[in-house]
Homo-oligomer: A and B are copies of this chain.
Amino acid sequence: MDFPITRIKGGVGAAKGFLTSAVSCGIKNPKSKRLDLALVYSDRKCTSGGVFTTNKVKAAPIRVSQTNLRKGNFRAVIVNSGNANACTGLQGIHDAKSMCEDAANALDLKKTEVGVCSTGVIGLPMPMVRVSPNIPGLVDGLAAKRGNDFANAIITSDTHEKELAVSFDIGDQRVRIGGCVKGAGMISPSMATMLCFITTDANLSKDCIQHAVSEAAEESFNRITIDGDMSTNDSVIVLANGASGMPVARRNGTACKQFRIVLKWVMLELAKAVVRDGERVTKFVTVNVKGARTHVDAKNVAEAVCKSALVKSSWNGGDPNWGRIIHAVGYSRARIREELIDIFIGGKAACLGGLQADTPMDALRDAVAGPEFVIDIDLNQGEAEYTMFSSDLSPEYVDFNRSEYAYWKQARKDGLV
- Residues of A bordering B, CB below 8 Å: 54-58, 84, 86-89, 121-125, 185-186, 188, 227-232, 307-310, 313-314, 316-319, 321-324, 326-331, 336, 338-339, 351, 353-356, 361, 365, 393-399, 401-405, 408, 412, 417
Contact = CB atoms under 8 A, between A and B. Distances in A.
Nearest to A339: B89
Given A87-B354, A124-B356, A229-B327, 13 more contacts: A55-B330, A87-B323, A87-B351, A122-B323, A122-B324, A185-B310, A227-B309, A227-B310, A228-B308, A309-B309, A309-B398, A321-B404, A323-B404
B402 A316 contact: yes
Contact of A314 (B231, B365, B403): B403
Identical subunits present? 2
Contacts of A84: 323
A53 to B, nearest CB: 8
A306 to B, nearest CB: 13
Contacts of A313: 397-398, 401-402
B123 A361 contact: no
B124 A417 contact: no
Contact of A327 (B57, B316, B324, B354): B57
B122 A327 contact: yes
8 contacts: A55-B330, A87-B338, A123-B323, A185-B310, A229-B310, A229-B328, A317-B403, A319-B404
Nearest to A231: B327
Contacts of A229: 308-310, 324, 327-328, 331
A232 B402 contact: no
A195 to B, nearest CB: 16
A188, A321, A322, A339 pick with most chain B CB within 10 angstroms = A321
B56 A330 contact: yes
Contacts of A54: 331
Nearest to A400: B313
Nearest to A358: B417
Contact of A338 (B58, B314, B365, B403): B58
A395 B393 contact: no
Contacts of A326: 57, 87, 122-123
Given A314-B401, A331-B55, A87 B417 contact: no
Contacts of A322: 123
A329 B361 contact: no
Contacts of A408: 361
Contacts of A58: 330, 338
- Pairs of residues from A and B, 4 with the lowest C-beta to C-beta distance, nearest first: A317-B402, A57-B330, A122-B323, A395-B395
A85 to B, nearest CB: 12
Contacts of A122: 323-324, 326-327
Contacts of A397: 309, 313, 398
B417 A361 contact: yes
Contacts of A307: 228
